[in-house]
C-alpha cells in the first residue's frame, strides 16, 4: 500500500468507527485494505494516509443455513466463507483471485464481475444486507437477512464497486445457493482458425458452462503447456447426469468448430479453474503490467489479438486470458527486467489506451505505475460519482484520489 504508516487493524466495528471519526474530524486520510490482492489497481492516494486493515474484523454473525443466508464480518477471507459453506453443501460464487487472502469487504468494494457470472449472476445479487462505517464514523445498515425485504433503493449496492471511497464495509449478509455436486474441466488446443467458431459454439451450448477461457501463456495456470496458440479451458459443474449431457454437447460443439482434441478431467477441476483466475493478478514483480479490457464475447478474441500485436511492436512478451462467455480480456505484458519495461511502459500505456480507451491496469509493481492511466477513460457517470463522494465523504477521508477520475 502506498501509505505512510503501519496498518491499524481494529477488531470491532465500534473501534473502527472511532478511528474513522477521529480522522474525519482532524482532516486525516485513511487508506483501506483487506487482503491487498488488488493493491496494483488505482491511483496513488492524494495525501499520506493512515493504513486501516480489516483483517481482524472477522467472524460469522449469523448462519441461517436452512434459509440459505449467512452474515459475516467484512475482513473474513473468501476461502474462510467458502470452506464454511462447503461444509453445509452451499456456496456463493466468489470468483476472486487468491481467495485465501481476498476479503469479503475488498471483493465487494472492487465489485468486479467474475467469470462465472454467465451461469450464476453477479456477486452483488447475492448481497441482501450490509453494515457500512461512513466517513463520520457512524454505522449505516441496509437490507437484512431475508432475501426479499428491499423497499426502495437497495443502499448496499451503492458501495459495491466504490473501491472504499464512500464507506467501509464491515458486514455483509448473503443469500447462498446449493453447491453443485460435481465439476469437470475441458482442455484443448485452440488454433487461431478455430477461435471464432469455438467462441460462438460455447455461447450457444444448451447447458451453459460455468466458465470458459482462451488462455494464452500463464503456463502454470492450467496444465503446464499451452502451446503456441493457447488453449481453451471450460469449467462445467452440476449433477452427474447434467455433466454427462453437457460433456457430450460440448465435445461435439468444439469438434464441429474444428478444435482438434479435448482432454477432460474431474479431479482438481475446481483448482484448475481457480489457478486461471489467480493468474489474472499474478505478476512478475517490476517487469510486467497487466490490463483488463471489457468487451463483448463476439469481439474479445480479435481485440485480444490486436493488443498482443501492439505489445509485440514494443518488444514486450504477452500473456492473455479471454473470458469467452463474458468477453473480458486480460493482457499481461512483460519486459526482460524492470529497466527494459521502464523504458517503454508509459508510451505503451498511451498506445494501449488509443486502441482500448477503457483499459484498466489491474496489476503492476513497476515504479512508473504512478504515471499510467490506471482506470482508462472515465465513465459517463463520473460527475454523478463525484457528487456521491462529496455527499458521503465531504472531507475526502476515505481512500482519497484512488478511484476513477481521482475520486
Ligand atoms: C480475475 C479477477 C476476477 C474477479 N472476479 C470477481 C468476481 O467475480 N466478483 C467480485 O466481486 N470480484 C471479483 N474480482 C475482484 C475482487 O474483488 C478482488 O480480486 C479481491 O477479492 C479484493 O479483495 P481484497 O481483500 O484483496 O481487497 P483489497 O485489494 O485489499 O482492496 C480492494 C479495494 O477495496 C477497498 N477495500 C478493501 N476492503 C474494504 C472494505 N471492507 N470496505 C470498503 N473498501 C474496502 C480497498 O481500499 C481497495 O480499493 C475479481 C478480480 C480479478 C482480478
Cell of 302: 480479435
pLDDT of residue 394: 97
Q: Establish whether residue 290 lines the binding site of ligand 1, counting it when its CB lies within 6 angstroms of any ligand atom.
A: no
Query: Which atom from ligand 1 is nearest to the alpha carbon of 108?
Result: 11
Cell of 14: 465500534
- Nearest protein CA to atom 28 of ligand 1, as residue: 36
- The CA distance from 222 to 220, in Å, is 6
Q: Establish whether residue 96 lines the binding site of ligand 1, counting it when its CB lies within 6 angstroms of any ligand atom.
A: yes
Instruction: Tell me the CA–centroid distance for residue 37 and ligand 1, in Å.
Output: 7
Q: Establish whether residue 30 lines the binding site of ligand 1, counting it when its CB lies within 6 angstroms of any ligand atom.
A: no
CB 243 within 8 A of CB 236: yes
Instruction: Tell me the CA–centroid distance for residue 153 and ligand 1, in Å.
Output: 23
First-last CA distance in the chain: 18
Cell of 128: 441482501
Q: Which of 50, 56, 112 to mutate to test the pocket of ligand 1 (most atoms within 8 A of CB)?
A: 112
Query: Which atom from ligand 1 is nearest to the alpha carbon of 111?
Result: 11
Instruction: Tell me the CA–centroid distance for residue 376 and ligand 1, in Å.
Output: 18
Q: Establish whether residue 57 lines the binding site of ligand 1, counting it when its CB lies within 6 angstroms of any ligand atom.
A: no
pLDDT of residue 145: 77
Cell of 308: 498482443
CA 366 to chain centre: 21
Query: Which atom from ligand 1 is nearest to the alpha carbon of 95?
Result: 8
Instruction: Tell me the CA–centroid distance for residue 109 and ligand 1, in Å.
Output: 6
pLDDT tens for the 407 residues of the chain, in order? 444 457 999 999 999 999 999 999 999 999 999 999 988 888 888 888 899 999 999 999 999 999 999 999 999 999 999 999 999 999 999 989 999 999 999 999 998 888 999 899 998 899 999 999 999 999 999 888 776 555 555 677 888 999 999 999 999 999 999 999 899 999 999 988 999 899 999 989 998 999 999 999 887 677 766 677 889 999 999 999 999 999 999 999 999 999 988 889 999 999 999 999 998 877 778 999 999 999 999 999 999 999 999 999 999 999 999 999 999 999 999 999 999 999 999 999 999 999 999 999 999 999 999 999 999 999 889 999 999 999 999 999 999 999 998 89
- Nearest protein CA to atom 36 of ligand 1, as residue: 106
Angle among Cα 78, 329, 348 to the nearest 5 degrees reads 115
Amino acid at each position: 500500500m502506498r501509505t505512510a504508516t503501519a496498518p491499524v487493524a481494529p477488531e470491532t466495528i465500534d473501534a473502527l468507527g472511532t478511528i474513522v471519526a477521529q480522522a474525519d474530524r482532524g482532516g486525516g486520510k485513511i487508506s483501506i485494505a483487506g487482503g491487498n490482492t488488488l493493491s496494483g489497481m488505482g491511483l496513488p492516494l492524494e495525501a499520506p494516509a493512515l493504513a486501516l486493515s480489516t483483517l481482524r474484523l472477522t467472524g460469522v454473525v449469523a448462519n441461517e443455513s436452512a434459509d440459505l443466508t449467512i452474515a459475516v464480518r467484512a475482513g473474513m477471507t473468501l476461502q474462510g466463507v467458502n470452506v464454511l459453506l462447503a461444509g453445509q453443501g452451499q456456496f456463493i460464487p466468489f470468483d476472486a483471485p487468491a481467495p485465501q487472502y481476498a476479503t469479503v469487504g475488498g471483493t465487494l468494494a472492487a465489485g468486479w464481475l467474475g467469470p462465472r457470472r454467465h451461469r450464476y449472476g453477479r456477486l452483488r445479487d447475492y448481497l441482501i444486507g450490509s453494515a457500512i462505517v461512513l466517513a463520520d464514523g457512524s454505522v449505516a445498515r441496509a437490507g437484512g437477512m431475508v432475501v426479499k425485504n428491499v423497499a426502495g433503493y437497495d443502499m448496499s449496492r451503492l458501495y459495491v464497486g466504490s473501491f472504499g471511497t464512500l464507506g467501509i464495509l464491515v458486514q455483509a449478509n448473503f443469500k447462498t445457493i446449493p453447491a453443485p455436486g460435481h465439476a469437470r474441466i475441458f482442455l484443448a488446443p485452440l488454433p487461431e482458425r478455430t477461435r471464432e467458431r469455438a467462441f460462438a459454439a460455447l455461447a450457444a451450448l444448451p447447458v451453459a458452462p460455468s466458465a470458459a477461457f482462451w488462455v494464452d501463456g500463464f503456463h502454470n495456470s492450467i496444465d503446464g503447456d499451452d502451446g503456441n496458440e493457447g488453449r481453451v479451458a471450460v469449467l462445467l459443474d452440476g449433477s452427474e447426469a447434467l455433466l454427462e449431457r453437457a460433456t457430450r454437447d460440448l465435445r461435439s460443439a468444439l469438434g464441429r468448430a474444428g478444435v482438434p482434441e479435448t482432454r477432460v478431467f474431474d479431479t482438481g477441476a475446481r483448482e484448475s479453474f481457480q489457478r486461471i483466475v489467480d493468474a489474472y493478478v499474478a505478476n512478475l514483480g517490476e517487469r510486467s503490467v497487466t490490463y483488463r479490457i471489457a468487451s463483448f464475447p463476439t469481439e474479445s478474441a480479435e481485440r485480444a489479438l490486436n493488443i498482443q500485436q501492439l505489445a509485440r511492436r514494443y518488444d514486450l512478451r504477452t500473456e492473455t486470458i479471454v473470458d469467452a462467455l463474458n468477453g473480458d480480456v486480460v493482457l499481461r505484458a512483460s519486459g526482460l527486467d524492470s529497466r527494459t519495461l521502464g523504458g517503454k511502459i508509459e508510451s505503451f500505456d498511451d498506445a494501449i489506451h488509443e486502441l482500448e480507451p477503457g483499459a484498466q491496469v489491474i496489476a503492476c509493481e513497476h515504479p512508473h505505475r504512478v504515471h499510467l492511466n490506471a482506470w482508462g477513460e472515465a465513465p459517463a457517470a463520473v460527475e454523478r460519482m463525484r457528487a456521491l463522494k462529496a455527499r458521503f465523504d465531504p472531507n475526502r477521508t476515505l481512500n482519497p484520489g484512488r478511484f476513477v477520475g481521482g475520486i
